[in-house]
Structures are given as C-alpha cells and as structure tokens.
Amino acid sequence: MSENNKQARTLEGRVISNKMNKTVTVLIERQVQHGLLGKIIRRSTKLHAQDELGANEGDVVRIAECRPLSKTKHHRVIEIITRASI
C-alpha cells in the first residue's frame, strides 16, 4: 500500500556536537543485558540529524527517521525535550 501512512521511528538522545551547519550529532544510549553473564551493559550510537530548531550541546532531543539528506544524515530533530543547564 502507501508508504506515506507509516509512522517514522523516533529516538531520544543527547546532543554532543552542534559545530556543523544545520547538523547536530546525537548520542543515543540504551541498556542491554549481556547474553551469557546477564549483566546490564550500556551501549551507545552516534547519529547525525538535521537541526532547524537550534539545539545546543547537552540538550535532550527527539529525532525521527527521514529520507537520506546527505551521506551520513538520515534523521531530523523534531523537538527539544529539555535544554541544557548553563
């Protein structure tokens, strides 16, 4: 059917860099359980996202998947959840 009705996958993460023009680097952290030992391990992923809202370093943002905007950028910032304390 039509792919326009699908919801875009959203993630929450912390902005770790805003030095590029209209692009921020977002760190996504998650906790997973080790397969053999059962210990909880922290895993992280860095993603580039299109930023039209003006997010700064330390802000917690929500990003959504979109079409490829460049070689490494496939997400957009859709809202700033919390601003970083200065």
pLDDT tens digits along 36-45: 999 999 999 9
Single-letter amino acid, residue 65: E
Q: Could you tell me the pLDDT band of residue 13, with boundaries at 50, 70 and 90?
A: very high
Q: Is the pLDDT of residue 1 over 70?
A: no
Q: Could you tell me the pLDDT band of residue 4, with boundaries at 50, 70 and 90?
A: low
* pTM score: 0.84
For the chain, give the DSSP string: --GGGSPPPEEEEEEEEEEETTEEEEEEEEEEE-TTT--EEEEEEEEEEE-SS---TT-EEEEEE-S--SSSEEEEEEEEEEPPP-
